[in-house]
Amino acid sequence: MVGYLVKKDQNEESRELNSRFEKFIESVILYALFFISIFLIATFVFFEKYILMKSYNLTHLEELEAEAIYILREVASQFEKPALLFSGGKDSIVVAHMARKAFWPAKIPFPLVHIDTGHNFPETIEFRDEFVQKIGANLIVGSVQQSINEGKVVEEKGFNASRNALQTVTLLETIEQHKFDCAIGGARRDEEKARAKERFFSHRDEFGQWDPKNQRPELWNIFNGRKDMGEHFRVFPISNWTEMDVWQYILKENIEIPSIYLAHQREVFIREGVIMSTSTFIQQRENEVTTNMQVRFRTIGDATCTGAVESNADSIEKIIEEVAAARTTERGTRSDDKRSEAAMEDRKKQGYF
């Protein structure tokens, strides 16, 4: 009996020791799992912060593109019937390119609108038609010639006559005819001091006029597209871009542009220090001698007011080098901006682009 009791006590001590050992092992495993978890979390945080985030940093062009695409999507969400003003120039080409990216794989959800003065460079019109056909967009053309024929505007006469200012009436008529409540443009703040004042979302009253002293705040890129009946907005997604940014983006994205932007031989004449292309639309003075020069155009507009620059830049890379060394603005060759100190602002107040 005594031996049985001793053996029973030994078994109980053995079970107790085994139980304590098992609890010890469990504790060790739990502590090990805890420290392994801490290590894995710390490793993940380090990897995300110092490895992933480094690869996620955007270049300045990617930041500008993201901003422009965000604005284009805001337009699609806030307005019922927007349109994209498309001249066939580099800025509107870039905006159209980003519109395709913003809504891919769907088509651009708004039409392209071109206000045709009838005095365009043939290279521009040819490129416009090819571009529209390539992307499958809907093109609406407003004709200044039609506005003249209907007596809504009076064509200028003389050596400095231009249809550039007449576009305003045709533009406003086109907006009203098609009931557009937003017109997207490719204007940039670095182009001209009046455009430097303008917001991304630029309000126009029922007469299409812009009031530079009554603009809406856009803190943290929060845009207010509210309007009354008959009013509309002009929206400029690439306001923060520079001429250099545009060309670098064109190179990066391999975007096609009109050949007129590249250096080529052309018959020109000099008028008040500006190289003008000969044209049936322009009346030359007796002392304005036609000559052949290698030129390119930094900006494209109405042929009667758009000058060229002497250039050997026959590729995008060379254009970028040329722009980097330039000391004059790209609109320095536009005679329409030189009619008065506030020529652009005066036109914009009346409803210009």
pLDDT at 5 (0 to 100): 45
Q: Are residues 198 and 317 in the same domain?
A: no
pTM over 0.85: no
pLDDT at 9 (0 to 100): 57
For 152-169, give the secondary structure using H, E and C.
Answer: CCCCCCCCCCCCCCCHHH
* DSSP, residue by residue, 207-266: TS---TTS----GGG-------TT-EEEE-TTTT--HHHHHHHHHHHT----GGGS-EEE
Q: Does the pLDDT at position 207 exceed 70?
A: yes
pLDDT at 55 (0 to 100): 62
Q: In the numeric block, which tokens belong to residue 103?
A: 């809504």
Q: Are residues 164 and 73 in the same domain?
A: yes
pLDDT at 57 (0 to 100): 80
Using alpha carbons, select from 214, 193, 182 the residue that is nearest to residue 344.
193
CATH code where residue 202 lies = 3.40.50.620
The arithmetic mean of pLDDT across residues 172-185, rounded, is 93
Give domain status of residue 211, yes or no. yes
- Structural domain harbouring 41: 13-57
Domain count along the chain: 3
Give domain status of residue 161, yes or no. yes
Tens digit of each residue's pLDDT (9 = 90 or more) over 12-38: 666 776 777 777 788 888 888 888 888
Q: Are residues 174 and 112 in the same domain?
A: yes
The 10 Å CB-count burial string (b at 16+, else e) for 171-193 is bbbbbeeeebbbbbbbbbbbbbe
Q: In the numeric block, which tokens belong to residue 292?
A: 């052949």
At 244, the pLDDT band (50, 70, 90 cuts) reads very high
CB hemisphere CA count around 144 (13 angstroms): 19
The arithmetic mean of pLDDT across residues 165-186, rounded, is 92
Q: Are residues 110 and 186 in the same domain?
A: yes
The arithmetic mean of pLDDT across residues 318-334, rounded, is 84
The arithmetic mean of pLDDT across residues 172-186, rounded, is 93
Q: Are residues 36 and 172 in the same domain?
A: no
Q: Is 95 helix (H, G, I), strand (E, B) or coil?
A: helix
Give domain status of residue 3, yes or no. no
Mean pLDDT of all residues belonging to the chain: 86
Q: Does the pLDDT at position 175 exceed 50?
A: yes
**Residue 252: which residues within 8 A CB-CB, separation 6 or more?**
61
Tens digit of each residue's pLDDT (9 = 90 or more) over 55-99: 668 899 999 999 999 999 999 999 999 999 999 999 999 999 999
